[in-house]
Structure 1
Amino acid sequence: MKKWLLLFCLSLLLVLPLAACNQNQPEKIKVTEVTHSIFYAPFYVALEEGFFEDEGLTVELTTAWGGDKAMTTLLSDGADIALVGSETSIYVQSQGSRDPVINFAQLTQTDGTFLVSREKIDNFTWDQLKGSTFLGQRVGGMPQMVGEFVLKQHDIDPHADLKLLQNIDFANIPSAFASGTGDFVQLFEPTASIFEQEGTGHIVASFGSESGKVPYTTFMSKESFFNENESTARKFTAAIYKAQQWVDEKSAREIAESIAPQFNDTDLKLIETVVERYKEQGSFATDPILDVEEWENLQNIMDEAGELPQRIDHETLVNTTFAEDVAGK
């Protein structure tokens, strides 16, 4: 009996440290992003500044290179969380999904594209686009929908008042413009700033400033994920909120230095220029709450573009519980 008790005590001495060690291991979260962009700076700050580790999480990040691909990865359980445009959750819901995709933490709150002209224009007005050749984004994507929404706000019919080109692949739009196609082009950063530095084009307006607040990129997951991982979702949202506050308080230079490891092939000064431009126009959300007004603006833009399959209530596809908890609202 004493021998058995001794063996039992020895086994506890071996097992308990291992159990304690396992409890201290960070929880792995698989995240897929629609693309890898300086536009998502607060997310990369959370990665680089250790905010996820502070919450006991480790992030395994993959880039899907497309909204449809990011959503497919999420729906097929290739990722726990997707960073993608909120419109994709509406598309999924309209197809009758049994496991709705829920938006829970907003990252960016404006469009991220800029209007670039081939010629330098000192006093740009939107009516100068009339009669021009405009190289736009792919049909059905948020950049295209926002682009058309803004043009209509300035009394420009994108299908009648100018020659709208939308038959060029997303990845090939910059090279098409650089080779001589179009008088104007809608571009993301840092390409817009690179073109300006090279003299290939000139930034004359911001679609983000013109279109108002919209949940352009949001962290989302399937409803079943929240049912099983409520604590994890809250921790993830807390890390994002810390990063959003950090970005709001820091200079463009400090942010650029933080996220530089994410963009090894991009000059630090260029990263700073892009971050400054996005900060100035309020593209980075300062908290992860996706409110009703932003949700309705998104659907108005989709509806105006003829891409809204059905109008869906905010509470159906948006869960602000975690965002409001961590932000103290």
Structure 2
Amino acid sequence: MTKINIMALRHSAFYSPLLMTMAGGFLKAEGLEYHYDVATPDKTVPDSIANGSCHVAQSAVATRLVELEKGIDSDIVHFAQINARDGFFLASREPDDAFSWQKLIGKRVLVDHFFQPLAMFKYALFKQGVDAPAVEFVNVGDVNAIDAAFRAGQGDYVHQQGPAPQQLQRDGFGHVVASVGDAVGPVAFSSLCASREWCKTDMASAFLRAYKKARAYVIEAPAVDIARQEMDAGFFPSVDPEVLAHTITDYQALGCWEPETAISETSFEHLQDVFLHSGQISRRYAFKNVVVRV
């Protein structure tokens, strides 16, 4: 077996196509044994790819756009999509079957302030006819701090990636009322990236074969089966199995995981719409400078 080092910028059920590439035995069938890490401030995706400790990583096409805006040169390219929509949800304090985005006006929302979730949330407000300054954005820190703060009573709403809001609901602290993915629509959200050189290797070809099979599986398989395998692999030790299955069902229903693995130019341009609106880029960048076909 050949060892392949895989890194995630963030760890979530949202990335089940990649997680099941590992947990579902698809890599093993290609002769690859995985080592999986989650990035930290001291061990980033770009640094790990550059020093060779990571072969392939879950990241976001937007990371390269921001680098290009800053004039940063990089050998990292994005070669396959993971999610074709944003995977964040809004949860409220009380059930609200009649929720509308206008209800956020004047309310305190614990918003994930990482660059892409923040840009997407602002664009969702724009698409839904809400002026961002009319909403009180509360920044309490990282994903763990956001969850703890809402459980402690801070904020009227919380903005989180699954399965965190679904677990909040299960624990009686919140109720999922909306999806940012629904509000924004299709976009090149999360992706797989690697060095240009690695993308030309036999390992890359074997990985992509495994990934395509895993992706097809998570689109069609019962969520409970996917959740069981991810739990067995140790990916979500503190999440209730029913909550994990519910979250995966939500993502299947949203259409986050499309059959096509290639990142489309249309979704890339939609992504640039989001980041132009947020002011994080000042102009459009060429598709070929960010995305490759493997």
TM superposition score normalised by structure 2: 0.92
Query: How far, CA to CA, are the matches of 1:75 and 1:198 in structure 2?
Result: 41
Deviations 1:21-78 (A, max 9, x none): xxxxx32221111122111112122112221122222222111146982233223333
Q: How many residue pairs align between the two structures?
A: 292
Pairing 1:215–2:188 present: yes
- Please show how residues 99-178 of structure 1 align to structure 2 within 5 Å: 99-138=74-113, 141-159=115-133, 161-178=134-151
Match of 1:6 in 2: none
User: Counterparts in 2 of 1:258-297, with a 5 A limit?
Assistant: 258-261=229-232, 262-297=235-270
Structure 1: state its 5+ residue gaps. Answer: 1-25, 323-329
Q: Which 10-residue stretch deviates more, 63-72 or 26-35?
A: 63-72
- Give the aligned partner of residue 280 of structure 2: 307
Equivalent position SS for 1:72: helix
More helix by share: 1
Mapped to 2, the partners of 1:297 and 1:268 lie a distance apart of 34
Contact 1:118/1:202 (8 A) holds in 2: yes
CA contact (8 A) 1:215 1:290 kept: yes
Cα distance, 1:235 vs. partner? Answer: 1.5
Give, in whole Å, the separation in 2 of the partners of 1:191 and 1:144.
17
**Greater gyration radius:** 1
Task: Deviation per CA, 1:214-236: give whole Å up to 9, x if none.
Answer: 2222111122333xx43222221
Alignment of 1:1-329 (within 5 A): 26-65=1-40, 69-138=44-113, 141-159=115-133, 161-226=134-199, 229-261=200-232, 262-308=235-281, 310-320=283-293, 322=294
Q: 1:266 to 1:185 in 2, by over 3 A?
A: closer
Once residues 128 and 188 of structure 1 are traced to their aligned partners in structure 2, the CA distance between those partners, rounded to angstroms, is: 20
Unmatched 5+ residue regions in structure 2?
none
- Structure 2 distance, partners of 1:107, 1:77, is 22
> For residues 70 and 186 of structure 1, what CA distance do their matches in structure 2 show?
24
Cα root mean square deviation, aligned: 2.0
State the alpha-carbon separation in 2 of the partners of residues 233 and 244 from structure 1. Answer: 16
CA distance in 2, matches of 1:68, 1:147: 27
Determine if contact 1:100/1:317 at 8 Å carries over to the other structure.
no
Mark the CA change 1:35 to 1:67 in structure 2 (over 3 Å): closer, same or farther.
farther
* Aligned-partner SS, 1:78: coil
